[in-house]
Homo-oligomer: A and B are copies of this chain.
Amino acid sequence: MEITPIEGGVCAAKGFSAGGVHCGIRKNTSKLDLALIYSETPCAAAAVYTRNKVCGAPITVTRAHLANGQARAVICNSGNANTCNADGVQKAQLMCAALARGLHIEETDIAVASTGVIGQPLPIDPILSNIDPLIRSCRKDGEGSRMAGTAIMTTDTHEKEASAAFSLNGKECHIGGIAKGSGMIEPNMATMLCFITTDAAISPEMLQKALSADVQTTFNMVSIDGDTSTNDTLVLLANGAAGNAPVEAEGEAFETFCAALHEVTTCLCRMIAKDGEGATKLLTCTVRGADGQETARKIAKSVIKSTLFKCAVFGCDANWGRILCAIGYTEAEFEIGKVAVWLSSKGGRVQVCRNGAGLDFSEDEALLVLQEDEVTVEVDMGSGEETATAWGCDLSYDYVKINGDYRT
């Protein structure tokens, strides 16, 4: 199977358009704050949501609307999470109702999402009065994807999109998405917000199956700060415009679709990690030689979450003892005496630990590795065949600055 990266983001798939406007939730009038993604025809829909018990009102509404595995549009505002508000669900429903009227579709075919401050009433008037301009802003090209991708950003420093082409039974298909991350990122089921579209024909059941499996090794392996958001939502829409024989069971076509989905989600995860609040570096941990998949994942995530190691990476300090420490407190069974660790990047590759004990490595070589903006910690557990990868970022002064006065 061949998966080819292409341009177009969430508009890469045929029959989808996207747009964004500044409606006024954010004070900065140059910052888009309301996004729309729309399919000309009905879509199979799949989604995953946060497992936080404090759950955004939009998630309650989206979950109900997508229960039948069908949807056609996604509306999303930034600047306010519409969470922990008494009238949150009602306002999320108002957003869907207004958009349904404008698009002449059913309310229940709309997914709704919000991101921003928790616990402040959502200003609904700016949204309702901007539904028509929002619909008019929609375009079928990459510019549409960029508008929507920009409108869902909070403290993200840039828009995040990825897309790929692949083939199902001789038909060319496309898949692409936009995402936002930044802070409060420790997805548990999904990331903060991610919307993916495809023109592949696939049943709602197989779409959900592909998505639920994929997030275990992609979005659930990202952590910026260990804070699982209240509003994590990932919606995947498939409109079948590619004309392939519908994927309705496991098999070669399903595997190809999963591979294409994985290409896009992995790409978005790396972007989210690298653009973590205040981040200066993408921090990747790959674990191999583990005797269980769960153990491999836990260790990879433990390393990229260690506050102390994240600070060391920010300071380009090869303090590998903190890596061993983070491996050691992982709740999993393994023999620490078999562990080997390398630091690698475009700047080189340095082994810092063998058999659970330190090596006399060159600090100069390690510095060359750590000065790059994408640094990988390779861990070999020496105990089996399982592998896992997790993505995070360093911890910088700017993370503290951004979050010391986020509301003010």
Contacts and interface: CB of A to CB of B under 8 A. Distances in A.
A279 interface: no
A317 B358 contact: no
Contacts of A353: 84, 119
Closest 4 CB pairs of A and B: A118-B321, A315-B404, A54-B328, A311-B403
Number of copies: 2
A371 to B, nearest CB: 13
21 contacts: A52-B329, A53-B328, A53-B329, A54-B325, A83-B321, A84-B324, A117-B321, A118-B319, A119-B321, A119-B358, A120-B321, A226-B226, A226-B305, A227-B307, A228-B329, A307-B403, A311-B399, A312-B406, A319-B406, A397-B400, A400-B400
A312 B404 contact: yes
Contact of A401 (B329, B336, B397): B397
A400 B307 CA distance: 9
Given A325-B54, A400-B395, A404-B317, A308 B358 contact: no
Interface residues of A, number: 63
A323 B301 CA distance: 23
Contacts of A319: 117-118, 406-407
A404 B356 CA distance: 23
Nearest to A188: B329
Given A184-B308, A308-B183, A358-B120, A325 B225 contact: no
Interface of A: 51-55, 81, 83-86, 117-120, 183-184, 186, 188, 225-230, 305-308, 311-312, 314-315, 317, 319-322, 324-330, 334, 336, 353, 356-358, 395-397, 399-408
A325 B230 CA distance: 6
B356 A84 contact: yes
A312 B84 CA distance: 18
Nearest to A360: B121
A250 B404 CA distance: 48
Nearest to A325: B230
A312 to B, nearest CB: 6
A325 to B, nearest CB: 5
Contacts of A51: 329
Among A117, A118, A226, A404, chain B packs the most CB atoms within 10 A around the CB of: A404
Contacts of A328: 52-55, 228, 230
Among A226, A311, A334, A407, chain B packs the most CB atoms within 10 A around the CB of: A311
